Structure 1
Amino acid sequence: MRRRDFLRLTALTPLAALSLRSHAVSVSTGAATGQLPDGRLHRLELKAHSFMLDGKPLQIRSGEMHPARIPAEYWLHRIRMAKAMGLNTISIYLMWNHLEREPGEFDLHTGNRDFVRFIRLCQREGMWVYLRPGPYICGEWDYGGLPPYLLRKPDIRVRSRDDPDYMAAVRRYIDTIAPLIHPLMAYNGGPVLMLQVENEYASFGHDRDYLKQLQALWETHGIRGPFTISDGLGQLQQQHTYLPGTVLGLDGDTGFATAQTIAGDAPVWVGEGYPGWLTHWGDRDFQRGDFAATLRGLLQQGRSFNLYVVHGGSNFGFSAGANAKGDYSHFEPVITSYDYGAPINERGEATSEYHVFRALLAAHATQPLPDVPATPPVIRFAAITPVAHASLWDNLPAPKAVKNPQANELLFAQDHGLVLYRRNIPAAAAALMLDGVRDYATVFRDGHYVDYVSRVQHAKLRAGNRVDLPAIVDGDASQLDILVDSFGHVGYGQAMADRKGIVGSIHLNGDELEDWDVHSLPLDDGYIRQLKPVVAAPSRPGIFFKAILRLDRLGDSYIDLSGWAKGYLWVNGQLLGRYWNLGPQQRLYCPASWFRHGDNELLIFDLHQTVAAPIHGATTLHV
């Protein structure tokens, strides 16, 4: 099954919420908040199927949000929104690849990477923390949080204790962040109640000793738990990957009685309950959920739960992940927005579901809930039309000569962006077959666009990997260009070697083509900064367009790109992410902090557009 298909099939529904009452546990609903994370030493114990905080029952009412998906300027606002909804805990993924982009080069402070500060803000607001640091997290994030540099090793086996390169990288990661986490644990006066060992491992493997080894790495640094795992109940039953003594989180399931037979005396809770859902490029609309009846049932029983997610945020930059079957087919990239249909929407606004959930939570609270914080200001701006700024074809770096195509990670140590394959071919008409395109290729003959090949299988897209090349009248040969764009790396299930570029072969009229010049185009900050502007307006697709937006008032905005085809958008050098007219997303969220008073530079790279379309600022994600 594809990403979370199993989980969604068994997801919490009103019927499930009613049926689980027969499995109720003896927990007082009045003990929902317990003590606050006040800097004193606190002890979370796992006893008789329940959580005990300093000897008193605790119902964990958690909502998930990810610092890496939220501008740091809005961290406090989002935490306060969750608290005002009636939650007492914030669940956090740490994305390893957001903290260590290159081997041994950690950034734990810039932008929204200072997770210690985020956790301390939770504590300051009287919120407990459920920490999920990986090494693997999934989360629809690029490569499930694993650093794509691992894919530069041809035979890497991730999530395996038997691969020395992978485990060395894991140790380096844990050795770096564990000393920062240790003082944040509740028994050391911090707000972190418990720590997840790995995420949804039963969807990938069955080596329980791998999980034991990860737990031991944390314990080496003095982190003694409690530890948790989280997975689908059916997958756990099949793979037998429950880690003894850990809290068992059920993802999209309410089979508490069955799960308790697996966990013994350890607590079973809803590790991920889904008030919304993820959206892929090509979905008919943004996904939503219906969680109210389930939440009502959980509250009536005093069951602990974690809403995945209470606030999603955005997949800024190249961070959006993808899903696929185990044989890498049925590729489904995730959109740039991680709104997720969550009760707190992408820009921090309370939705109608938020108010429904808040009323339910308030009815089971021991004291009045805080007032709902005001939503940050939002701005519109009038339509502006960008102009051609630079041509990709005038900004090609020196090529590398290769006999056969290779993955970008192996050829250039390149994790994201574009790559160009170029060679001469005969001028006659021909059938070009592109195998192993990851993930979207545009084909040119003598500078003229011919067609595209997409790995994304969708009814709106042309099917197949064949491109028919027309004959060239003048000359005996022509230049073939294959420009390959990538989405995020698959981050769920068995397809965990999802390298980018061209990973198969290229044939012309049945004959394999060899001897290519290959250009690395990572679209990173260094590449963007050195773009040489155009002298005359280019006519070949692959153009960077620029607009200057003058603002005298700042606020969040959604930049409408519904008149464009497929590409990327930067605002003042910050990559908002990908856009694609395949939909359903046509607008990209830009936080107020990325704008500035006066002139703002908007840079668009489009794979197909040769004539600029107007863009404008809107107040909502939905068109």
Structure 2
Amino acid sequence: MRRRDFLKLSVLTPCMAWLTPMPVCSTRVSGGHVDVLPDGRPHRLELAERKFLLDGQPLQILSGEMHPARIPAEYWTHRIRMAKAMGLNTISIYLMWNHLESEPGVFDLHSGNRDFVRFIRLCQSEGMWVYLRPGPYICGEWDFGGLPPYLLRHPQIRIRDKDDVDYMAAVRRYIDTIAPLIKPLMAYSGGPVLMLQVENEYASYGHDLDYLKQLQAMWEAHGIRGPFTISDGLSELQQQHTYLPGTALGLDGDTDFAAAQAIAGDAPVWVGEGYPGWLTHWGDKDFQRGDYVATLRKLLQQGHSFNLYVVHGGTNFGFTAGANAKGDYSHFEPVITSYDYGAPINERGEATPDYHAFRQLIAASVRHPLPDVPAAPPAIRFAAVTAEPFASLWDNLPASRRVTAPQANELLFGQDHGLVLYRRSTPGNGGELQIEGVRDYAMVFSDGRYVGHLSRVQHPDLHAGDRIDLPIVAASAAVVLDILVDSFGHVGYGQAMADRKGIVGSVRLEEEILQGWDVFSLPLAGTWLGQLRPLRHAAKRPGLFFKATLALDAVGDSYIDMSGWDKGYLWVNGHLLGRYWKIGPQQRLYCPASWLKRGSNELLVLDMHRTEAASIRGTDALKDMQPTT
């Protein structure tokens, strides 16, 4: 998570041309700097004289960040060309460890948008350098900051800690797996990767410089000799003293180069993260925007290197959106499904007004002509279709596990996301139900009747030690108490990262601790989801799946409008777009054209509250255009 003030931007505008071939030459002159382009020959980036030197000549890094894990692979080339047409010479990317390793030792480096080697080679083919940020921790508003949630199955795990054997063994396995793929991509090997970041924003978490040194040594053991960089807040670095000697110093949201240079010595200082936009949480009044024109103008005029975070944000598909919270786990703020971020290239690849303003500034500071701006991919709208009740969660419960007290999903089932159901019989005289440690959204049922919900988002002071009372109305000598808990992403920034999901505290009825629970794992994935038993009769109990068939004559990108729904998940032809929630500000989920098809398309919805059919429609924008005054 990063900090800065919020300012508003204008509305979005479309681009002008579509994937025009772009020639790549090996050298060009830019603003007094000789810019060498990645051409397959070895090149040398040096950190010297308080600046970057490429093959002995000054290099101004004009970088924009985008993440292949947030972009459909078929649009990678388009997004890279958009960044190049804005005038940038470098693409910065995070590698999300948990996107590549789902279970210990189970790596997928090729399917979907996981083939980061191909993405980096595409950057090279388009004449763009790469600034690589492989973690192991990346923050990035991504689930668990990019760390694999399987780490939370260790009850006493200490992440980002060199003295935790389990954590460091997992880190070593990760680096041992990807480092051999990265080495040939380094500039000195003829690839486009100029520089590699060691961890991310560590001073905002810890103060053990030896931890960073050990990570750097792991890369060097694989023949990756850098150069290396760190990126962090200036005040945090000054307080924690975690500058890694000999690395470039990237400033996050700061331009006090003089103060940073006092820390870095003769190593270059640059803007590791400059924020043209900002992240948005569920419950925010509107999508966050920014204003970076003045700062960018100053950086260009003074010749400072920079990385725009982000030039293109993309989408938190599936369960990948992360969350923020205070150190005591209160004030939980989950990130929305869209990672539009107010970026100059919006979620589906259109140039915004900021894009054109930035492009104009950069064009005036370089001596080579910029390529034409590629057109955005085609978009479609579709008329409303009605999603009818299809299956009930309650008719599809798997076998349960018996436990004495509620425990977290990760510890009980090794389950990283989705739902978990806690069930037991209670006395029929009712009383006040007190649930401690809800992570993150609990729905309470008494004998199948919905009683109420407890939201970690809507009760900001809720943390592991707080209690919220809910009444239980008894109708007989004994009732079945069900507590259905839905989760958001794991906290990915700060000290509250042991953010296990489910119920992590006790449950009390009239101050008496309830023990003896049957617990059901509902991960919302795999064979269970694909084999739902349809409804046999009308159901009025919340927890329903709905299904609609969408007929299309043509496909294109679309934003699927869920404003008629409450809270839940949307799948399109088996692809989980992500979460929706009526509290907003996001009401529409981005669906790339490749997830749709001509003819019949299946829309599947799990809504936590609705029991009746509702409509779904397709539009071509994240939000309606606001009239200008």
TM-score by length of 1: 0.95
Q: Please state how far the C-alpha of 1:606 moved relative to its aligned partner.
A: 0.4
Give the aligned residue type for 1:154.
P
Counterpart for residue 25 of structure 2: none
1:8 corresponds in structure 2 to: 4
Equivalence for 1:91: 92
CA 1:272–1:368: 2 relative to 1, 3 Å: same
Q: Which residue of 2 aligns with 1:286?
A: 287
- Greater CA drift, 380-389 or 527-536: 527-536
Alignment of 1:561-580 (within 5 A): 561-580=562-581
Does residue 248 of structure 2 align to residue 247 of structure 1? yes
Match of 2:508 in 1: 507
Q: Partner of 2:219 in structure 1?
A: 218
Match status 1:143 vs 2:136:
no
Q: State whether residues 269 and 304 of structure 1, in contact with CA within 8 Å, keep that contact through their aligned partners in structure 2.
A: yes
Quote the sequence identity (%): 75
Where 2:499 maps in the other structure, the secondary structure is: coil
Aligned to 2:81: 80
Deviation at 1:29, TM superposition (A): 6.4
Matches within 5 A, 1:68-467: 68-457=69-458, 465-467=468-470
Work out whether residues 6 and 288 of structure 2, in 8 Å CA contact, stay in contact via their aligned partners in 1.
no
Matched, 1:536 2:537: yes
Moved >4 Å (runs of 4+):
458-461
TM-superposed CA distance for 1:426, in Å, is 1.3
* Aligned 8 A contact 2:203 2:232 in 1: yes
Per-residue deviation, 1:10: 11
CA distance in 2 between partners of 1:399 and 1:553 (Å):
45
CA distance in 1, matches of 2:468, 2:100: 37
C-alpha deviations, 1:75-118, integer Å up to 9, x for none?
Answer: 00000000000000000000000000000000000000000000
Within 5 Å, which residues of 2 pair with 1:33-52? Answer: 34-52=35-53
Q: Which amino acid aligns with 2:472?
A: L
Cα deviation for residue 33 of structure 1 reads: 6.2
The separation in 2 between residues aligned to 1:9 and 1:349, in whole angstroms, is 25
| CA-CA distance at 1:527 after TM superposition | 2.0
* CA distance in 2 between partners of 1:10 and 1:594 (Å): 34
Q: Distance in 2 between matches of 1:552 and 1:58?
A: 50
- The one-letter amino acid paired with 1:537 is A
Asked whether 1:484 is paired with 2:511, we answer no
Q: Note the C-alpha offset of 1:485.
A: 0.2
CA contact (8 A) 1:32 1:366 kept: no
- Are 1:61 and 1:89, in contact at CA under 8 Å, matched by a contact in 2? yes
Distance 1:140 1:460 in 2: 21
Q: Secondary structure at the match of 2:394?
A: helix
1:32 deviates by 5.1
Distance 2:488 2:580 in 1: 11
Corresponding position: 1:469 with 2:472 = yes
- Whole-angstrom CA distance in 1 between matches of 2:301 and 2:147: 38
Shift of 1:597: 1.0
The answer on whether the counterparts of 1:137 and 1:199 sit within 8 Å (CA) in structure 2 is yes
Q: What residue ranges of structure 1 are gaps of 5+ in the alignment? A: 12-27
**Distance change in 2, residues 1:290/1:10 (3 Å):** closer
Q: Tell me, in whole angstroms, the C-alpha distance in 1 between the residues paired with 2:456 and 2:527.
A: 28
In the aligned structure 2, how far is the partner of 1:210 from the partner of 1:56? 33
CA contact (8 A) 1:32 1:365 kept: no
For residues 375-416 of structure 1, the C-alpha deviation after alignment (integer angstroms, 9 at most, x for no partner) is: 100000000111111100000000000000111100000000
What's the CA shift for 1:459?
A: 8.5
What amino acid does structure 2 have at the position aligned with 1:8? R
CA distance in 1, matches of 2:109, 2:80: 20
1:22 paired residue number? none
Q: What is the TM-score with the length of structure 2 in the denominator? A: 0.94
CA deviation after TM superposition for structure 1 residue 429, in Å: 2.8
**Residues 1:29 and 1:269: Cα distance change in structure 2 (over 3 Å):** farther
What CA distance in whole angstroms lies between the structure 2 residues aligned with 1:33 and 1:546?
58
Distance 1:30 1:618 in 2: 43
- Tell me the secondary structure at the aligned position of residue 170 of structure 1: helix
> What is the CA distance between 1:366 and its match in structure 2?
1.6
**Cα shift readout 1:108-151 (whole Å, capped 9, x = no counterpart):** 00000000000000000000000000000000000000000000
Tell me how far apart the structure 2 counterparts of residues 435 and 519 of structure 1 sit (CA, whole Å).
19
Provide, for residues 51-94 of structure 1, a one-character-per-residue CA deviation record: whole Å limited to 9, x for no partner: 00001110000000000000000000000000000000000000
Q: Confirm or deny that 1:64 pairs with 2:65.
A: yes
In the TM superposition, what whole-angstrom CA distance separates every residue of 1:296-348 from its partner, at most 9, and x where no partner exists? 00000110000000000000000000000111111000000000000000000
Q: Is the 8 Å Cα contact of residues 434 and 467 (structure 2) preserved in structure 1? A: no
* Partner-residue secondary structure (3-state), 2:124: helix
Deviation at 1:489, TM superposition (A): 0.2
Q: Does structure 1 retain, via aligned residues, the 8 Å contact 2:409–2:420?
A: yes
What is the distance in 1 between the residues matched to 2:311 and 2:461? 32
Answer yes or no: is the 8 Å Cα contact 1:229–1:243 preserved in 2: yes
Query: Is contact 2:330-2:460 (8 Å) kept?
Result: no
Name the SS of the counterpart of 1:386 in structure 2. Answer: strand
Aligned equivalents of 2:281 and 2:5: distance in 1? 17
Q: Which has the larger displacement, 67-76 or 448-457?
A: 448-457
The CA distance in 2 between the partners of 1:127 and 1:618, in whole Å, is 33
SS in 1 for 2:4: helix
* Conserved? CA contact 2:65–2:312, under 8 Å: yes
* Shift, 1:182, TM fit: 0.1
- What letter is aligned with 1:308? Y
Q: For 1:182, what is the secondary structure of its paired residue?
A: helix
Contact preservation (8 Å) 2:446, 2:474: no
Distance between the aligned counterparts of 2:548 and 2:351, measured in 1?
32
Distance 2:262 2:554 in 1: 58
How far apart are the structure 2 equivalents of 1:607 and 1:460?
23
Partners of 1:10 and 1:334 in 2: how far apart? 16
Preserved CA contact (<8 Å) 1:396 1:519: yes
Contact 1:460 1:582 in 2 (8 A): no
* Structure 2 unaligned spans of 5+: 8-28, 625-629
**Structure 1 Cα separation of the partners of residues 189 and 459 of structure 2:** 51
User: Does the aligned pair in 2 maintain the 1:33–1:59 contact within 8 Å?
Assistant: no
Give the direction of change, closer, same or farther, for the CA distance of 1:424–1:32 in structure 2 (3 Å limit). farther
Question: Are the aligned partners of 1:335 and 1:585 in contact in 2 as well (CA < 8 Å)?
Answer: yes
Structure 1 window deviating more from structure 2 (427-436 vs 314-323): it is 427-436
SS in 1 for 2:92: strand
